[in-house]
Each structure stands twice: as structure tokens, then as C-alpha cells.
């Protein structure tokens, strides 16, 4: 057992400083398929913002501050069609609820015992679907004391790709077909689905994913409201109960 622990410790990547770990995360971002998915997705977001009359500075700031493609589409579409700030804020808040479980799951995996909570604020803000998936994939290979700066660098690198796509989409808005602009927005959920399926190693993960795919259209057609949130809650709960019952039976 001790040999296994030592072998795992030796296999973890170490850095000379927090800046080196941050730079390592930056270098990892372009090697992720999510970089290219984000680039294409935010081309569509930049074009949408241009068509609805927002400035380039405004849409770039929204990419940095909102940092979630679905929530950003909601922000642009609600404000661009005449809705009030309160209505837009409520819609974005409801969309952002889905990221809370991701933050709760990620932070304990990246923080060291002596990490101060204020050092995790940037990591929490950068936690989006792309950064969350890649942090779970790459994080175990990084020594724990360097995971926070590494994940921050990874998040900033992915955000830079999104920012590049935002600017390109805004500048090319007049030449980008509407069908293509809509299609690239679909890349993020599809890439997340494929990555989640690929990273699902345990039965409980696969069961939750399968139940979610099966229940999502049911709740959507039933018009229950917050159907994505309800789907995740029901599918995850059923998968967890099955997992506990199966473990107790063993």
C-alpha cells in the first residue's frame, strides 16, 4: 500500500512555483478539444451580439464576467429583445444554478489543506463545463499544492479561446450565415455530452447519464419548468439510490 502511494506521488507533476503551474495550465488549454469548441461556439455568440446591437467591448466583458455560453446567450437575447435588467438577471441566475454542483465537486479536489478560501474565488468563477471536465481529467496528474494555479491557468487559456471567437464572430457578423451561427452554438452541449460519456467509468455515472438522456425530453414535453434542473435532480438521485442499494447488497 505504501509503495502504491509513493508511486502515485512520484507520478504527479510538480512545478517550481505557482506561476509555473499557471503557465502549465495555459499550455494545456490549446491541447484540449474544448478550445476549438469554444472558439467556434463564441463565434456564434459574437455574431448574435452584433446583430442585436451590442458593442464589441460589451460582448467581450460579458464573455469574461458571465463565462458560460448558455447564460451569455440568455443575457444577449433577453436584453437585446427589450427585456428588463431584472428579467435578464433572473433568467441568467436560473441558468447559472447548474454550475453550483460543479464548483462544489471541483474545489475539494484542487485545494490543498493550507489553501485559503479567497484563493479559490478565481477558480470558482472560471468553473464552466469545459474547465470542469478538463480539470477532472488533468487534475489527478498534478501535485495537489499546484492544482489551483494550474486550473486557473487552464481556465484563463480556455477563456482566451472564447474571447478570440467572440471578437471574430462580432467582426464577421455580416458575412456569417444565420444557420451556421446557430449551429456553432450547439457544439458546446454536444462536446460536453461526449466528454461526460467518455469520462463515465463507474456504473453510477453511466446510469445517471442514461437516465438524464431518457428523462430530459419527457420533462421538456411535460413543460414542468426548469426541466434541465429537474432532470438532473431526478436522474442523479435514482442513480445514487441504485448505487447505494447495489453496494449494500454486496
> What percentage of the chain exceeds 90 in pLDDT?
28
Question: How confident is the model at residue 5, as a pLDDT?
Answer: 39
- Residue-wise pLDDT tens digits, 39-63: 888 888 888 888 888 999 999 999 9
The whole model's pTM is what? 0.73
pLDDT band at 146 (very low <50, low <70, confident <90, very high): very high
Whether 146 and 21 have beta carbons less than 8 Å apart is answered as: yes
SS3 sequence of the chain: CHHHHHHHHHHCECCCCHHHHHHHHHHHHHHCHHHHHHHHHHHHHHHHHHHCCCCHHHHHHHHHHHCCHHHHHHHHHHHHCCCCHHHHHHHHHHHHHHHHHHHHHHHHHHCCCCCCHHHHHHHHHHCCHHHHHHHHHHHHHECHHHHHHHHHHHHHHHHHHHHHHHHHHHHCHHHCCHHHHHHHHCHHHHHHHHHHHHHCCCHHHHHHHHHHHHHHHHHHHHCCCCHHHHHHHHHHHHHHHHHHHHHHHC
- Higher-scoring residue by pLDDT: 147, 78: 147
Cβ within 8 Å of residue 112, ≥6 positions away: 144, 145, 147, 148
Identify the bridge partners of residue 91 per DSSP, sorted by sequence position. Answer: none
pLDDT band at 193 (very low <50, low <70, confident <90, very high): confident
pLDDT at 226 over 60: yes
Domain boundaries, the chain: 2-199, 200-250
Buried b / exposed e across 107-127, counting CB within 10 Å, b at 16+?
beebbeeebeeeebeebebbb
pLDDT at 246 over 60: yes
Question: How confident is the model at residue 225, as a pLDDT?
Answer: 63
What's the grid cell of residue 185? 452554438
Residue 157: φ, ψ to 5°: -65, -45
Question: How confident is the model at residue 182, as a pLDDT?
Answer: 67
SS3 sequence of 150-175: HHHHHHHHHHHHHHHHHHHHHHCHHH
Mean pLDDT for the stretch of residues 217-232: 78
Question: How confident is the model at residue 11, as a pLDDT?
Answer: 67
Report d(CA 151, CA 139) in Å as an integer.
8
- Residue-wise pLDDT tens digits, 82-137: 777 887 787 788 777 878 888 998 999 999 888 888 889 999 999 998 899 899 98
> Per mean pLDDT, which range of 84-98, 200-214, 234-248 is the poorest?
84-98
Question: How confident is the model at residue 81, as a pLDDT?
Answer: 75
Residue 163: name the closest of 78, 61, 28, 29 by CA: 61
Helical pair 187-199 and 178-185, crossing angle rounded to 10 deg? 30
Amino acid at each position: 500500500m505504501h509503495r502504491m502511494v509513493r508511486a502515485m506521488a512520484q507520478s504527479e507533476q510538480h512545478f517550481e512555483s505557482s506561476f509555473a503551474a499557471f503557465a502549465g495550465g495555459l499550455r494545456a488549454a490549446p491541447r484540449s478539444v474544448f478550445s476549438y469548441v469554444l472558439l467556434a461556439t463564441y463565434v456564434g455568440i459574437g455574431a448574435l451580439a452584433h446583430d442585436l446591437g451590442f458593442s464589441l467591448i460589451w460582448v467581450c466583458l460579458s464573455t469574461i464576467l458571465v463565462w458560460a455560453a448558455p447564460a451569455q446567450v440568455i443575457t444577449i437575447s433577453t436584453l437585446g429583445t427589450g427585456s428588463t435588467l431584472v428579467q435578464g438577471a433572473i433568467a441568467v441566475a436560473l441558468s447559472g444554478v447548474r454550475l453550483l454542483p460543479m464548483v462544489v465537486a471541483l474545489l475539494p479536489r484542487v485545494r490543498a489543506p493550507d489553501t485559503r478560501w479567497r484563493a479559490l474565488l478565481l477558480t470558482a468563477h472560471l468553473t464552466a463545463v469545459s474547465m470542469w471536465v478538463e480539470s477532472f481529467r488533468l487534475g489527478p496528474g498534478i501535485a495537489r499544492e499546484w492544482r489551483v494555479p494550474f486550473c486557473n491557468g487552464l481556465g484563463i487559456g480556455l477563456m482566451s479561446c472564447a474571447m478570440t471567437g467572440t471578437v471574430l464572430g462580432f467582426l464577421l457578423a455580416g458575412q456569417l450565415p444565420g444557420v451556421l451561427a446557430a449551429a456553432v452554438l450547439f457544439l458546446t452541449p454536444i462536446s460536453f455530452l461526449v466528454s461526460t460519456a467518455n469520462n463515465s467509468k463507474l456504473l453510477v455515472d453511466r446510469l445517471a447519464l442514461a437516465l438524464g438522456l431518457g428523462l430530459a425530453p419527457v420533462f421538456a414535453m411535460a413543460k414542468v419548468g426548469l426541466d434541465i434542473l429537474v432532470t438532473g435532480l431526478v436522474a442523479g438521485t435514482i442513480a445514487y439510490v441504485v448505487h447505494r442499494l447495489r453496494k449494500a447488497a454486496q
